[in-house]
A and B are shown apart, each in its own frame.
Chain A
Amino acid sequence: MSEMWINMGPQHPMTHGLWNLRVKIDGEIVVDVDAEMGYLHRGIEKISEDRHYNEVITLMDRCCYVAGMAWEHLYILAAEEALHVTVPERALYIRVMSEEFQRVASHLMWYAAFVQDIGLLTPFLYGMRDRDLILDLFQSYTGGRMTYEYMRVGGVRNDMPPGFTDRARKLCTWLIDRFKEYDTLCLASTIFHKRCDNIGVLKAAACRKHGVTGPMLRSAGVKADIRKDRPYAAYDRVEFDVPVQQDADVTARYLIRMEEMRQSIRIIRQTLDWLDAHPGPVIAPQLPRWLGAPYAPIGNEGYLLKRNYPHGLGFSAIEEPHGEALAYLVNDGGEHPYRVKFKSPVFANISAVREYVVGYHVADIPPIMGSVDICVGEVDR
């Protein structure tokens, strides 16, 4: 068979989202690939310029629909820096807990999608089942399952309901037990290793060249984690390890994410203990009027305040489940952000696709792309 291009996407079971991987194949070998993005562009950054600060949070949930909490956190950190708002400590811990639960939920979603890509049907539903339990937990204190609109400039919207920490602890125990089951279903299988070892290799140098971050970078032996390197919220006050693998292949990424989930549970347990011991307010008492929780007033009020508020620049970097997400926000004293810019980790991870897909088999593409953990919502925004 001569060489030919085939489209894997935009409607294809491999893509897990709306994008297109054009693949040039020679028989069963991949000769060239080309990623086409942009099918899901909604102009979130531009829309943000016409929204009140707290209204942008709604858009952040739509940025990455499997890691809404992390993206809310990213935006909130930048907005608070730009608006010179201090946050009560309890809110910081709640944010850390929420982000870590979100990380586990996102990784479970990744697990479900990834195992399905290599043909494992059962763990797919196990992953989805356990993710649903986390979503139930989210629902109990934010009211939302995927789009939470929970964080606010200056804190979070509301405190936990009674009995929440016990429920969360129970879930942590359940999840830790399930992780063993996941590992048994994958790592104990010879076929799993045959499918995943030594494919999709992306070494550290190539990662740096393309700006690849997150589990992909850590699987290449680089110990880079913003939660450790540039701690935000309460991450400097909790103990956790950053898992590192050396092989830089699909199995290494699997191991990294599995270990990250365990570390997230470790962080969550510490934050739950802290939250039990330290009741208090969850949102800053003195806020500009248009930032007052829960919703900004709509009308002329904002314009009156326009020039009275100090200008500011906000930058934030968080370790999102997929990698390092950055945000930059300019406050010109108005009621809306003057400019918001986000950097999505997945965009960089996909951009390097030629480095880790070319030369492998067509059948290797689903596990490789599955191990990248793609969320197109944040790539296109």
Chain B
Amino acid sequence: MLSLYSVAYDLISIPLTAIAAHLPAPLSAWLVNTTLLNVLGALVFCAILLGASMINTIMLIWFERKMLGRFMDRRGAMHVGFAGLLQNFADGLKLFRKNTRRPKDADFVGFYAAPTAYMVSSLVMFAILPVSTGWSAGALPLSLLLALVVFSFAPLFIFLSAWSSANKYSLLGGMRSAAQMIAYEVPILLAVVAVVVLSGSFDLTTIVYEQQNYWFWAPLFLALIVFVAGMLAEMERIPFDLPEAEAELVEGWNTEFGGMLFAFFMLADYVRALVGCFLIVLLFLGGWTMPGWVPASATSFPLAGIFWFMLKTYLVFGVFIWIRASLPRVRTDQLLRVGWMRMVPLSLLSIVLAVAVVLTKCLPVIGCVPGIGGG
């Protein structure tokens, strides 16, 4: 089966073997060596992954700017590139050229390490989440668990950045962020447990295979709601964006960061948004599987899995943009109250429902009701 890793391996091994054919024996043996080829193949794999995810992230920002613009009766970015497609690259370049300043009292290590670690921990998610069959480097039996663990690193780095920048706004924002993310991690994990109960696996690829016939959103509607709300809080998007509530906390925990450090935070936020949409698609919307009513000819073209996966991802993100365009921001105490007193019970209820669905074997009945997501 064609996999991204094998493509990356071929990309490096074919030219190397060709070169080695013209070299004397000891040198060619050293060059065409499984360990070296594997390492180089892994590097190329990472580069492809990084490039794809970065381009997608930047396109996501463009998508948000354009769609928000339309909601607000304006056009969004228009001038750089066709319909402003290159605007974000230009912005990135501008931020890259800008000077970064560290406040006098800021902690050196924390101030520079936090944005980097935040960025890296967000990017690692792309290596874990399968976008299509053969996307992951290796089959991880606990990839869902790993993904959630890596996803929950963020509050630590946010708090680190807030504390090390020695600013009162940052500190308040960091406190809020930590409280919010920890509060919403619980319902997210519980909602995921419902998915695990239904699919019987912690492997994301298996979870998607289990959805070949019935997407999980219908039987686990409650869990989906909890998961989406939790993801909104994790992404710090508008109804729950109080850690960086610009009205009262200037920019929240990233107040003191400028230039590339700010770009790291900004980009990582969107990486996390993209990853959150990936998770929703993987866990509830059937991953790269196609709705049953789509004719087979439309589902069998090359890279069809990636196409359908990205289409669903962008649709989910479109819903998030819609929410951002139309809802006000809640208050910290209200957010935490909703998190602990509504979301956690709801997610527990969704686990009970998932267990009931499995025990009564009524998945075919519930899964077929909405017409979407049947095999």
Contact = CB atoms under 8 A, between A and B. Distances in A.
B10 interface: no
Nearest to A363: B331
A116 B329 CA distance: 10
Interface stretch (A8-16, A82-90, A99-107): A8-16
Contact of B330 (A6, A28, A191, A365): A191
B74 interface: yes
B242 to A, nearest CB: 6
Given A6-B169, A14-B247, A189-B327, A361 B73 contact: no
Interface in A21-69: 25, 28
Contacts of A124: 72
B158 interface: no
Contacts of B274: none
A363 B332 contact: yes
A115 B328 CA distance: 8
A194 B245 contact: no
Interface residues of B, number: 30
Contacts of B238: 119, 121
Contacts of B331: 194-195, 361, 363-364
A118 interface: yes
Given A116-B247, A362-B172, A363-B245, A122 B333 contact: no
Nearest to B238: A119
A364 B334 CA distance: 12
B33 interface: no
Contacts of A365: 248
A25 B171 CA distance: 13
A363 B72 contact: no
A178 to B, nearest CB: 11
Contact of B248 (A14, A121, A189): A14
Contacts of A122: 68, 71-72, 325-326
A4 interface: yes
Interface residues of A, number: 34
B68 A121 contact: yes
Given A6-B169, A126-B73, A363-B331, A13 B239 contact: no
B248 A8 contact: yes
Contacts of B242: 363
Interface string A342-376: 00000000000000000001111110000000000
A192 interface: yes
Contact of A119 (B168, B172, B247, B334): B247
A192 B328 CA distance: 6
Contacts of A116: 247
Contacts of B203: none
Contact of B328 (A8, A129, A191): A191
Nearest to A370: B247
Given A195-B330, A363-B242, A118 B247 contact: yes
A15 to B, nearest CB: 10
Contacts of B250: 12-13
A205 interface: no
A125 interface: yes
A119 B248 contact: no
A1 B325 CA distance: 34
Interface string B165-176: 000110010010
B328 A189 contact: yes
Given A125-B74, A129-B73, A361-B333, A120 B328 contact: yes
B323 to A, nearest CB: 11
Nearest to B246: A13
B332 A361 contact: yes
A185 interface: yes
A119 B245 contact: yes
Nearest to A196: B328
Nearest to B176: A28
Interface string A136-152: 00000000000000000
Contacts of B326: 120, 122, 185, 189
A119 B239 CA distance: 8
Contacts of A25: 172
B334 A121 contact: no
Nearest to A362: B248
B241 interface: yes
Contacts of A8: 248
A335 interface: no
A8 B331 CA distance: 18
B325 A119 contact: no
B333 A118 contact: no
B272 interface: no
A122 B326 CA distance: 6
B247 A121 contact: no
Interface in B71-126: 71-74
B324 interface: yes
A129 to B, nearest CB: 6
A120 B328 CA distance: 4
Contacts of B330: 191, 194-195
A133 to B, nearest CB: 12
A364 B333 CA distance: 11
A319 interface: no
Given A119-B241, A120-B326, A185-B326, 13 more contacts: A6-B169, A14-B248, A119-B327, A120-B327, A121-B238, A121-B324, A189-B326, A189-B327, A195-B330, A195-B331, A361-B331, A362-B172, A363-B331
Please provide the 5 A-B residue pairs with the shortest distance between their CB atoms, ordered closest to farther: A119-B329, A366-B247, A125-B72, A118-B328, A117-B247
20 contacts: A12-B250, A28-B172, A116-B247, A119-B239, A120-B326, A121-B238, A125-B72, A125-B73, A185-B326, A191-B239, A191-B330, A194-B334, A195-B329, A195-B330, A195-B331, A362-B172, A362-B248, A362-B249, A363-B331, A366-B248
